[in-house]
Chains A and B, each alone.
Chain A
Amino acid sequence: MTKTISRRDFLKLGAASVGAFAVGQMLPPMVAKAAKESGLINAAGNGYISTMCEMCVWRCGVIAKIVEGRVVKLDGNPEHPHSRGNLCPRGQSGLMNTYDPDRVLTPLIRVGKRGEGKFRQASWEEALDLVASKMTEIKTKYGAEAMVFSSTHNLSQPLFENLLYAFGSPNYGTQRSLCFNAMIVANTMTYGMEEPARIYDDKLKYILLTGRNLFEAISTSETSDLSRAIDRGAKVVYLDPRYTKTASKATEWLPIKPGNDLAFHLALLNVIIGEKLYNRAFVEKNTIGFDELKKEVSKYTPDWAAPLTGIPAETITRIAHEFADAAPHALAHNGWRTSNFINSFHTQRAITILNALIGNWDVVLTEAGGEESGKLGAPSQPPYPRVSALRLDGVPWKYPVVPFKIGVFQEMRDNIVSGEPYQAHGWFISRQNPVMSLPDREKTLKAFAKLDFIVTVDIILNDTAWFSDVVLPEASYLERYDPLLPFGDKAFLRQPVIEPQGEAKSALWIYKQLGERLGLGDFFQYTDEEDYLRQQLAPLGVSLEEVKTKGYAESPETPHAGESAEKSWNTPSGKIELFSDTLAKVGFSGVPTWEEPPQPAEDQFYLLTGKVAQSTQFGTQNNQLLNKYSDEPRLWINTQVAAKLDLATDDWVEVTSEVGQIHIPVLVTQAIRSDCVFMTPGYGHLSKGLTTAFGIGASDSVLHVTYTDPISGGQALSQTFVTVKKVDDASSAETLKPLYLGE
């Protein structure tokens, strides 16, 4: 779509080409020393090394093929439960992240205005000293809480958390409130766990997917599982206002009205309870609050739900019957998000309860093997300092049931702008792009303008790094070690398959260096990455060398209690909570209840966003291989509506929400409800340091209005309403004025 180099070209050039701001010579990557020492690579630099993907958070096992010290191909590791030998397009493209000519290869210190993109190269010594001194200055002047930290789900997160908790800040942002807070909090309130594992065995006959677009938002093994289930003849009912690729494979697609998934699921509960289709023995033995639930859902009949959802009452009744008939081999999939509204917590609760009512526990749902590192060792460290400051994100003082480790990211941003309950002064960001990911981009940049100091750790100059004061270059996932990933009866290793390019360093190294400069060295008691891994492996009695060769360590699971044992749930009552006293005590409904979602005005559309298979969130659009095979980002609009607005495919439109405006070409299609428009997130980058992605598409975060589900803290991503107006080609030129912050 924009300028590209061929792999052949850059292999020839020895990767000497550099991106606009990837200052410094890109050095030819050497053979990973560690791999060579382990004998995984021969003297010529050829071999195969087992490691783990990081193109999304599913973490497939990969086998990297190395030729003359370069990674030339990645294949799925057949032994890894998440890949089983397959990789999705993002996984296949992973080496292009590493060989991106836009890689940041030395620490950068800003010399121009924020957003101007002027940086100078610095040594690690200088950059780390500067970051530590700024952090210390903020702590001394305003308290540790004035420094906020944020990072996205990744394997080095425990060390990142070490840094922020040891520093003494309560302010921690993750991406989860932009994604699946509602699902996690609902499962926690019901089952006492974040997300049960799903079992796709040969008996699974019925799958109800609420917006879980598994064929575009790919989780390799689960995508395979769903495909095989469809092959076997399992029935898949898929709810989505959009005809996605999953919809095209489902047995039945229900184009539900956004925001009303709750009504649909409440009506299913109504039928299943009203007609006594539930598993009475399971419910009596394992749940509490059935009577309260029964009373509440008795009013939510299919006739009541039909006009809200746009799904006929008889269809809802039939699906309730089919679901119960298939029990216990039926799954109501929580999904992550489709139409996230401020009522999404109750939707998720209703879905978790549907599963509980048919008693599919240990048949279709089960306790997740978990990514808890209980069995692994860890370096010793002192206790964290006590923190008394309130969290800026309102947990728990505004959001009493949101777990601390999840938080409400958008609220944290809002309170950096408002300065309430106190003013933040610094933001430490790792592997995250809040400029793009948070709703209301203008507001995020306003928050940046309020801060004295912003530091970003990433491998490329993403949009957030573009507005930062210091950028610390991380080694890519093919160039570094990360802490082990325990999964099932194994602990998997991410190991360098090539040496880091330029001056890039692992997160384990970066956080330790910073910790030491901040006087927190006791929290990072390891000499280097391998020493950290050896301490993790110590209780297993497995050598790191063995793990490097196999790619994993055997780590026997704690024996499962089994079905016969008295099952106890990690909830206050020890049961599956259909009624939650925890919720009731803080003033929320203890059972799922109807909350009317807001609706667009006559001339407005629901703005839907969702994933495509060729990108992950906001971080992979600069990958040239993914760019090569990505669709041009366009705004989907229903054919009949387009005719009324005199729009044909590739006509440009102006899309306006309460907080922003974009210009984008349209795709006229039958594959979307007439009251919705859809756009792919992750385009419309601001950073000119992303030479492949810059200039493509428009940003959904410009349009998204910040609405937070009061219970789960989840951002109501589908609750933004927009108007769409045809514009001339001429006005389709980049309308965005240069965004500089401050002077």
Chain B
Amino acid sequence: MAKYGFLIDASRCIDCRACLVACSVENNVPMKSTRIWIKDSGVTGEFPNLERYTAPFHCMHCIDPSCVSACTVGALQKNEDGIITYDNEACIGCRYCMYACPFEVPHFEWSKQFALITKCDLCVSRLAEGQKEPACAATCPTDAIQFGSRGDMLAMAHERIRSQPERYVEHIFGEHENGGTSTFYISPVSFDQLGFPTAETTDSPAHFNRIATEEGTPIIAAGAAIGMTGIYLALEHNGKKQAVRKTEHAEDKHDTAGKE
């Protein structure tokens, strides 16, 4: 089955936030939550030689998703088409996925009594209805968010950098990060400057988690960080536990300071 993919071009993003609103409506996202953020370089330089770049940021849909490997109850799953889905019925609110994700994507709805995670599921139900694109890509007035097959999106990213080298830094974010993802970013400035969690610098809990899981002690490792309730709930649900995946780039570090 063909894998889905995004290409998000920071040179085209005008920070209008149509994608954020579209996502909220399409997915019935509560008013206090969001599944997309704007990464913003801020205004840099000295007047009048200024620069500013932005890009919408949401779940990267990793090839080897750390969140799925961290989820003890199978609430997070990777579909054949590459979509990382989230099942709020199965979720126990343990937040392991939050610590596991090197991109800080799953967000906890702290305001709720029985808090769950919210994250992009690539508008899986919208696609199931026969719509061609997720709501964010469909509405983007500048085609900053494009959607298609993962292969096509990656090829398009390479082609854009090749044909307009003066316009982009030579880095496709998502091509190699966390072992490769289904969301690719290209940008006129470094992803560090754009506030992305960069592969070189993040001290991600996922790193710890992955090391731990590779040693076969995921529950103890995570439980130490979370507490006994997590262990209890995890044990209760461990019938749904997913196979732990081996993840590449376990040594990578990520900067967690995203400007949102």
Contacts and interface: CB of A to CB of B under 8 A. Distances in A.
Contacts of B124: none
A719 interface: no
Contact of A223 (B30, B31, B135, B142): B142
Nearest to B22: A92
A92 B19 CA distance: 9
B141 A223 contact: yes
A227 B14 contact: yes
Contact of B43 (A9, A73, A249, A670): A670
Given A231-B12, A245-B15, A670-B43, A93 B138 contact: no
Interface string B29-65: 1111010000000010111101111000000000000
Contacts of A6: 28, 30-32
B195 to A, nearest CB: 15
A156 interface: no
A93 B25 CA distance: 8
Contact of B24 (A9, A76, A243, A625): A625
B20 interface: yes
Interface string B105-128: 000000000000000000000000
A624 B34 CA distance: 13
Given A76-B139, A215-B14, A8 B50 contact: no
Interface string A595-616: 0000000000000000001100
A669 B16 contact: no
B139 A614 contact: no
Contacts of A216: 14, 16
Given A227-B141, A625-B24, A625-B25, A92 B18 contact: yes
Given A227-B141, A613-B17, A87 B31 contact: no
A228 B141 CA distance: 10
B50 A220 contact: no
Nearest to A9: B30
B7 to A, nearest CB: 13
Given A88-B141, A218-B16, A4 B25 contact: no
Given A6-B31, A74-B25, A75-B139, A89 B16 contact: yes
Contacts of B46: 670
A75 B15 CA distance: 19
Given A7-B28, A92-B25, A626-B21, A613 B16 contact: yes
A638 B47 contact: yes
A71 to B, nearest CB: 10
Nearest to A626: B21
B26 interface: yes
B84 interface: no
Nearest to A214: B14
A7 B25 contact: yes
Contacts of A253: 48, 50
B73 interface: no
B68 to A, nearest CB: 26
A243 B50 contact: yes
A255 B17 contact: no
A607 B240 CA distance: 61
B25 A87 contact: no
B138 A76 contact: yes
B31 A5 contact: yes
Contact of A11 (B16, B28, B34, B53): B28
A255 B49 CA distance: 10
A315 to B, nearest CB: 11
B14 A628 contact: no
A722 to B, nearest CB: 20
A245 B28 CA distance: 29
Contact of A248 (B29, B51, B140): B51
Interface in B227-259: none
A216 B141 CA distance: 12
A671 interface: yes
B53 A248 contact: yes
A224 interface: yes
A639 B51 CA distance: 15
19 contacts: A4-B31, A4-B32, A5-B31, A6-B28, A75-B139, A76-B138, A85-B138, A87-B141, A88-B16, A89-B21, A92-B22, A243-B43, A243-B50, A248-B50, A253-B50, A624-B31, A626-B21, A629-B20, A674-B47
Interface of B: 12, 14-18, 20-22, 24-26, 28-32, 34, 43, 45-48, 50-53, 135, 138-143
Given A223-B16, A248-B50, A628-B31, 5 more contacts: A89-B16, A89-B21, A92-B25, A247-B50, A613-B17
